[in-house]
Amino acid sequence: MDHSLEHHQSYIGRPASELPTPSLVIKKPVLDANIRRLHDDVDKLGIGFRPHTKTLKSIEVTRMMLKGGKYRKVVCSTVPEIAGSLPLVKEGLLDECIFGMPIFKGVLPRLQVLSEQIKIDLLLDNDQQLLLLDSSNKSSWDVYIKIDVGARRAGLTADSTRLQDLVKKVEASPRVNLKGFYCHANHSYGCRNEADTRAMLQTEIDSVLQAASLLPPEKPLEVSIGATPTAHVVNTLRAAIPKNISLELHAGNFPTNDLQQVSTGVTPIDSQAVRIVAEVVSIYPERNEALINAGVIVLARETSAFPGSGKVTDRPNWDVVRVSQEHGILGCTKGDERVDETFKVGDRVWLWVQHSCITAAAVYVYYVVDENDVVIDTWLPLKGW
Ligand SMILES: Cc1ncc(COP(=O)(O)O)c(C=O)c1O
């Protein structure tokens, strides 16, 4: 859906400075380098890799993350992400998908339909979810049990008796085949240095291996760990993996990064591939602030070690200090620069965002630019649930 006066493709070949505002701009050389960095790390370790499609929800980016079919599995957070990735199955690049939330009733019929075109595996963290599968026409599903490694979002902790019970029930159920254990350290976004992030990676691997030890040592199992902060330090991984277990890393945010990732201290500020371009609408010298046309919808109300809701890329002392729906307020958070000497009405401002996954979900088109900020392509994200 595109309501702009000009079709998004009409900007191809033009400088990003001519884009409508606010727009989401992806710097392709940075995106490429971020993907390459992670591919190199997992290749060196010789472990599996499963990209999550949730950040840009873009078939173009998923294709890149799969590295020409070297990696053949994804994890998706929505049905449109799976349905929109089916051309990659036809292209011979993609075989399998994990639906990335513990299975719920409303989505099961749609996953069942999609499973005729791509192998779909499920996550479980409660024995009641097993009962749901009784209503499914599919005779058997491959499942991973979700392990909570401290985020207290989804999953069971590796030392819990509920996990032991669930493993027994899954093993006894004719409706499911236990493939392994899956964790996601989303609380690793709170890490502020490499040592803490490495410790979080260790917690992930220790937790899934502890869970796997509930099964007989001859049973083949897969364990899937990762979040972008821990993925950024995966090259430090040292773990003794039992012979029956195969290890894979999953990650989703890594192609873009954002201020939250930079805050973890394991990726530099220039590894951010996503910026929002906005416009200065008004200036208020009396309160040393400026109004821009990017608010909470496109910048999100997310936080990190960086103040505010966005950072002006080329004026490091200026941040988006307050937001309402589509209004944003620029303020000087360091030093004593004057707004009327820094900005004028009509200026374009380029912003780093706190959390690119949320920002990306707000827009209908991504403008892809080269190293000179010339638009080379437009990508349309897969919308909806
Ligand atoms: C279940 C699950 N797995 C993997 C990921 C990927 O994590 P990240 O985007 O930090 O790489 C997410 C992201 O939220 C997730 O929800």
Q: Which CATH number covers residue 78?
A: 3.20.20.10
Based on the domain organization, do 206 and 322 belong to the same domain?
no
Q: For residue 255, say if its preceding peptide bond is cis, omega within 30 degrees of 0.
A: no
Is residue 275 in contact with ligand 1, taking CB distance under 6 Å?
Answer: no
pLDDT along the chain (385 residues), means of 10: 73 97 98 98 97 98 98 98 98 98 96 97 97 88 98 97 98 96 96 97 97 97 98 92 96 98 98 98 98 98 97 97 98 97 98 98 97 98 96
- As a whole number of angstroms, the distance between CA 250 and CA 204 comes to 12
The Cα–Cα gap between 177 and 140 comes to: 7
* pLDDT at residue 311 in the model: 98
Predicted pLDDT of residue 6: 75
C-beta of 228 in contact with ligand 1 (< 6 A): yes
pLDDT at 136: 83
Residue 385 lies in a domain: no
Ligand 1 centroid to Cα of residue 323, in Å, is 26
pLDDT value of position 5: 61
- Cα(378) to centroid(ligand 1), Å: 25
Query: Which ligand 1 atom sits closest to the C-alpha of 154?
Result: 1
Same domain, yes or no: 117 and 203: yes
Ligand 1: which of 145, 187, 191, 250 to mutate, judged by most atoms within 8 Å of the beta carbon? Answer: 250
C-alpha 273/C-alpha 258 separation (Å) is 8
Q: Rounded to the nearest whole angstrom, what is the distance from the C-alpha of residue 202 to the centroid of ligand 1?
A: 17
Tokens standing for 361?
A: 């979900």
Residue 384 lies in a domain: no
Which CATH number do you get for residue 364? 2.40.37.20
- What is the pLDDT at residue 139? 85
Is 157 among the domain residues?
A: yes
**Is 272 found in the same domain as 233?**
no
What token pair was written down for 298? 């496109």
Residues 153 and 214 in one domain: yes
Helix (H, G, I), strand (E, B) or coil at 141: strand
Residue nearest to atom 1 of ligand 1 (CA): 100
Q: Residue 319 corresponds to which tokens in the numbers above?
A: 């941040």
Domain span holding position 230: 29-256
Cα angle value 309/315/321 (rounded, 5°): 25
pLDDT at 3: 56
Regarding whether 274 and 248 lie in a shared domain, the answer is: no
* Residue 1 is assigned to a structural domain of this protein: no
| Residue 2 domain-assigned (yes or no) | no
d(CA 305, CA 200): 18
Does the beta carbon of 76 sit less than 6 angstroms from any atom of ligand 1? no
Within 10 A of 317 (CB to CB), how many other CB atoms are there? 14
